[in-house]
Amino acid sequence: MLEHLRELFRYRELLRSLTWREIRVKYKQSIMGVLWAVFMPMIVVSAGILVKYAAAKLSGTPFDAAAIASISIRAVPWAFFVSSLRFATGSLISNTNLVTRIYFPKEIFPLAAVLSQLLDFAVASGVLLVLLTVVRVGVSVHLLWVPVLMLLMVILVAGLGIFLSASALFFRDVKYLVEVVLTFAIFFTPVFYDVSLFGKWSRVLLLNPVAPLLEGIDAVIVKHQEPQLAWVLYSTVFALVVLTAGYSFFKRSEPAFAENI
Amino acid sequence: MSEIALKLDHVSKKFRRGEIHDSLRDLIPALTGKFLKGGTGLKKEEFWALDDVCMEVKKGEAFGIIGPNGAGKSTILKLLSGILVPTKGSLIVNGTLSALIEVGAGFHPDLTGRENIYLNGSILGMKKREIEAKFDEIVEFSGLAEFLDTPVKRYSSGMYARLGFSVAAHVDPDVLVVDEVLSVGDLVFQRKCLQRMSEVLSSGVTVLFVSHSLRAVAELCSRSMLLVGGKVAALGPSDQVISEYLAQASGDRRTSVGPVEVRSVRLSTPSGDGVHFKTGETVDVEVELHARESCAKVAVVLDLLDESQYNLFNTSTERMGNPPVDLEPGEVYRCTFRLDLHLAQGTYYFGAHAYRYDVEHNYDSLVPALTFYVSSGIEVRGAVNCHPRLVDQKREIGSR
């Protein structure tokens, strides 16, 4: 394992080049360019606001600026998670040429896919920051949690991406499975709602490793409280296990990539 | 110089024929099939792409690999570069290895030439600083300076290949693997590539060269290996290995089904038989036809081919003014051509056809039928010997 990591480190420049390639290629020949990075999460946010507004109207609860802030703050990392995972899963298959012809550590592909999505995330976060200032969510010391929670999100998505990209190389079903799951995952993930809405069933929802992270981000930014530490710990362990297991699966099957793709 | 750069030790590689199951729907019937047949179902589709291959290449040596298509040449290269792993055996690569296997493989069509140089450079293992240092040299070499900011998807295939080769040729590895990439671009660019190759060779880099151009292998490599069907058929000094390959290729006899068969082509000189000649020597070439059925107006055509099967010279009994012959069933017909071999040093082939001119029908061909070698002094190179003589030489000094 250590040897693999050392090799990956030797190829860090290639990781940077490929990340940069994904970013360049993505918005070439498009009029809106990098604005797409804002547009996508904006759609999710709008849908969320609509759902939340309807729910508030039905139950008679108040619909305020905090609700909008809460949805936006969850939607942007969720959009990052979805697009990274989708992109990473197909990253080996869409680079057949390089996988079968040139030697380098192939985990660079899913990693570059995730890293390139971070740029979109950063752009969307910039816009989000403006929105949060406008609706005056305020600041607190709990904001220091944000980078930690985002790092966990990146580790989780990288681990899943590494595992899924290698599986999709052997079985194309994985790609379609990921598509289907990601399309409906928004219903099972607290993006448009708080898990507290479900009372004692909230624990089941929090088993989804993304849920504690989104809940946590909402807690520290909008509610100015500490995240639920136990659940964040759960997500951390989950993310690290996925990354380790996914990476070792990837490295073990890597020699068979070229003849099975 | 005696250090080992590359070593293959009893390396074998197994491949599968046909489709592999890449979706669950295909896998389930395959697994049940396997279960019912007791696990022997898949074995039928497997074959050895490489079978017990051993070779060693010393540091600074240029080593050639030749052989027919599908012999496993590219598989060896992929094993050495680490893309594939051997099923059995082990291999050693000392130092960094760079492969000119598929030039431009890492290009992205939407990126410009400039962006692709950086990207491809780092895919081939160059550091950003290295690429920056060599950037101008690469652009200069490719001759594409004015298209540098055009996306490569708008390039012609020649331009694409030129840019790919230019980047690849500027990587500085310890071991360079070259697979049939010297044939890209136009004439001027090809000459540049060959020049670059000999530069690389003289700088002490170990080169593994895979080519169908036997002349290039003979010129660049001191030792070579002949692969046939995944097995090492010959290994040793290049000229011996190439002779072995040619002998095998011309030994490929087909079974003729036509009414007349070109049975053999034989070479003789006044001084006896043989296949080694000096330039300018006179030889007799005897062609033998066997008629199965009666056939009308048969003429014998004789071909002289060079190493790349290019027809250098061609004649026929009829074009030389001899009437065609009508053959009876079971008849054997022989004719002998006398030729002066005004050829430069190299390997050549004879081939023969039984042909009917008036209806332009080819009864049978035997090409290549026979391999022979011509040696000459160092004063001539190329395909033909025009017997050069220096008849004048002037020097003028001080005039502008």
User: And the tokens for A124?
Assistant: 């969307």
Q: Which of A29, A98, A171 sits opposite B110 (nearest CB)?
A: A29
Nearest to A24 among B101, B115, B123 (CB): B115
**What are A32-68's pLDDT values in tens digits?**
878 888 888 888 888 888 888 888 888 877 777 788 8
* Cα separation, B75 vs B80, whole angstroms: 9
ipTM: 0.81
Centre a 10 Å sphere on the Cβ of residue A127 and count the other Cβ atoms it contains: 16
Query: What pLDDT digit, counting tens, does each position of A69-87 carry?
Result: 888 899 999 999 999 999 9
Across the interface, do B122 and A171 touch by the CB < 8 Å criterion?
no
Please tell me if residue B119 touches chain A, with a CB cutoff of 8 Å. Answer: yes
- The answer to whether the Cβ–Cβ distance between B111 and A100 falls below 8 Å is no
The reply to whether residue B123 touches residue A104, judged by beta carbons under 8 angstroms, is yes
> What CA–CA distance (Å, rounded) separates A184 from B318?
81
Average pLDDT (B347-351) is 87
CB contact (8 A) between residue A255 and residue B84: yes
CB B233, CB B90: distance < 8 Å: no
Confidence of residue B1 (pLDDT cuts 50, 70, 90): very low
Q: What would be the CATH architecture of the domain defined by B259-375?
A: Distorted Sandwich (2.70)
Sheet of B282-291, strands arranged across: B260-268, B282-291, B332-340
Give the closest of A97, A255, A260 to B20, CB-based: A260
Q: With bands split at pLDDT 50, 70 and 90, how would you rate the model's confidence at B31?
A: low
CB atoms within 10 A of CB B63: 24
Question: Hey, what are B270's tokens?
Answer: 């006044």
Largest CA distance in chain B: 93
For B126-165, how does the pLDDT look when each residue is reduced to its tens digit (9 = 90+)? 888 989 999 999 999 888 899 999 998 898 888 888 888 8
Candidate from A17, A104, A255 with C-beta closest to B119: A17
Of the residues B96, B120, B122, the best mutation for testing chain A's interface (the one with the most A CB atoms within 10 Å of its CB) is B122
Q: Could A101 and B83 be called an inter-chain contact, meaning their C-beta atoms sit closer than 8 Å?
A: yes
pLDDT given at position B224: 92
Measure the CA angle with vertex B344, ends B342 and B347; round to 5°. 105
Indicate the pLDDT class of residue B250, thresholds 50, 70 and 90: low
According to the model, what pLDDT value does residue B42 have? 44
Nearest to A77 by CA among A161, A149, A19: A149
Q: What residue in A sits closest to B15 (Cα-Cα)?
A: A259
Question: C-alpha dihedral over B307, B225, B94, A9, to 10 degrees?
Answer: 70
Partners of residue A104 in chain B, C-beta under 8 Å? 123, 125
CB-based contact A102 B101, cutoff 8 Å: yes
Reduce the DSSP state of residue B303 to 3 states and report it.
strand
- Average pLDDT for residues A197-217, to the nearest whole number? 90
Largest CA distance in chain A: 62
pLDDT (mean) for A189-201: 86
- Chain A residues with CB under 8 Å of B105 CB are 97-98, 101-102
Per-residue pLDDT reduced to its tens digit, B251-268:
555 556 678 888 888 888
- Residue A161: other Cβ atoms inside 10 A: 30
* Domain layout of chain B by residue ranges: 4-19+38-244, 259-375
| Pairwise CA distance, residues B194 & B203, whole Å | 14
Chain A residue with CA closest to B101: the answer is A101
* DSSP for residue B272: B
**pLDDT of A117-166, one tens digit each?**
999 899 999 988 988 888 888 888 889 999 999 999 999 999 999 999 99
Size of the A and B interface in Cβ pairs below 8 Å: 72
Nearest CA distance, A95 vs chain B (angstrom) = 9
Assigned token pair, B296: 């009308």
Residue found by looking up tokens 């508030």 in the block: A56
The residue in chain B having the minimum alpha-carbon distance to the alpha carbon of residue A30 is B110
Predicted local distance difference test score (pLDDT) of residue B39: 41
Residues in A touching B151 (Cβ below 8 Å):
28
Which of B24, B78, B83, B180 best probes binding to A when mutated, by most A CB atoms within 10 angstroms? B83
Contact B20 A171 (CB under 8 A): no
Q: What is the spatial distance between Cα A217 and Cα A5, in angstroms, rounded to a whole number? A: 30
DSSP code per residue over A83-145: HHHHHHHTTTGGGHHHHHHS-S-TTHHHHHHHHHHHHHHHHHHHHHHHHHHHTT----GGGGH
Length reported for chain A: 261
pLDDT score of B226 = 92
CATH number of B4-19+38-244: 3.40.50.300
CB B100 within 8 A of CB B161: no
Candidates B50, B51, B52, B47; CA nearest to B15 is B47
